[in-house]
Structure 1
Amino acid sequence: MSRIDRGSRTIGATPAAVYDALVDRGALEAWLPPDGMRGRIERWDPRPGGGFRMVLTYLDPTGNPGKTSDATDVVDVGFAELVPAHRVVQTAVFQSDDPAYAGTMTMTWQLAAVGDGTAVTVSATGVPPGIDQAVHEEGIASSLAHLAAYLEPGG
């Protein structure tokens, strides 16, 4: 069975608002970096077939060597599918000389209305073997918590 890294969270916002936060440059820079990192988008083309390049910088790289340099992960993300208020499918390629981080990872963000909010389910396939599954799922959970804080009233 192939590996699938997952995370999910119910967010107190409409599916349309969550979708908008998945395809807005400023929003992604604000909420996508997991705890202990900050992010900057260098290139932006928000359409199917387009994508972006994100530079993630470790706030404290001690014990967390980056994939691209000592303190950074650079990832080229493509928008494979954009279905407003329902789904965003991204392909991600890490810039790294280490073959353990080679390959294309697919991240699927599935949105479903639940009550007054949105159930957001993230699944990652094709995850490079150099990325520890538990650490990756912790990062997904952290990003989802940041997304909730970004969108929810008082967040």
Structure 2
Amino acid sequence: MTRTDEESRDISAATHDVFAALLDPRLLERWLPPHGMTGRVEWLDARAGGTYRMVLAYADADANPGKTGDGSDLVEGRFVEIVDGVRVVQQIEFPSDDPSFSGLMTMSWLVEPTASGTRATFRAENVPAGISAADHRDGLRSSLHNLAMLVEPHS
């Protein structure tokens, strides 16, 4: 059985600023890791057909061994579609010896203008069964929060 998880957030920033943060490797390292994790982009070729690799590390590796077993999650992806200012669609594979964490997940990041800025929506389809639905939605919300904090103007 496949599962889809989705979360949205209204962000008080211009759509082009939000969209730009979706593909900039240095910005991805700052906003994508949910609370309790850090991220490192090893490579990123932001074009349809391009690939990327990111390592997400847990702050408390003893409490959470991660999908790769060393306190981290290795994320390898391929960009399926990039529509400038609108959406980024990618296929993500989690290399893992545990079949409940492996498989091919499709992640779509969508942005649309609103009266007060931008609505960002993250949709994950075919989420591996080993990923808790509640934890995954919390992680999506945390990443959206980080994205908003990064791109919203601060006084």
Fold similarity call, TM over 0.5: yes
Output the amino acid matched with 2:66. Answer: G
1:44, CA displacement in angstroms?
1.6
In 1: Cα distance, 2:48 partner to 2:100 partner: 28
- The 5 A counterparts of 1:48-63 are 48-63=48-63
- The 5 A counterparts of 1:69-80 are 69-80=69-80
In 1: Cα distance, 2:140 partner to 2:102 partner: 20
Q: Residue 89 of structure 2 aligns with which residue? A: 89
What's the TM-score, normalizing by structure 2? Answer: 0.95
Q: Provide the identity percentage.
A: 48
- The 5 A counterparts of 1:10-21 are 10-21=10-21
Say if 2:118 is the partner of 1:118. Answer: yes
Q: SS at the partner of 2:76?
A: strand
1:63, CA displacement in angstroms?
2.9
- Partner deviation per Cα, 1:59-108 (whole Å, 9 max, x = no partner): 01233221012311001011111011111111110111111111110111
- The 5 A counterparts of 1:1-155 are 2-154=2-154
For these two proteins, the number of residue pairs brought into alignment is: 155
In structure 1, list runs of 5 or more residues that go unmatched.
Answer: none
Alpha-carbon RMSD: 1.3
In structure 2, list runs of 5 or more residues that go unmatched.
Answer: none
The answer on whether the counterparts of 2:2 and 2:127 sit within 8 Å (CA) in structure 1 is no
- Partner deviation per Cα, 1:24-68 (whole Å, 9 max, x = no partner): 111101110000000001122111100210001000123322101
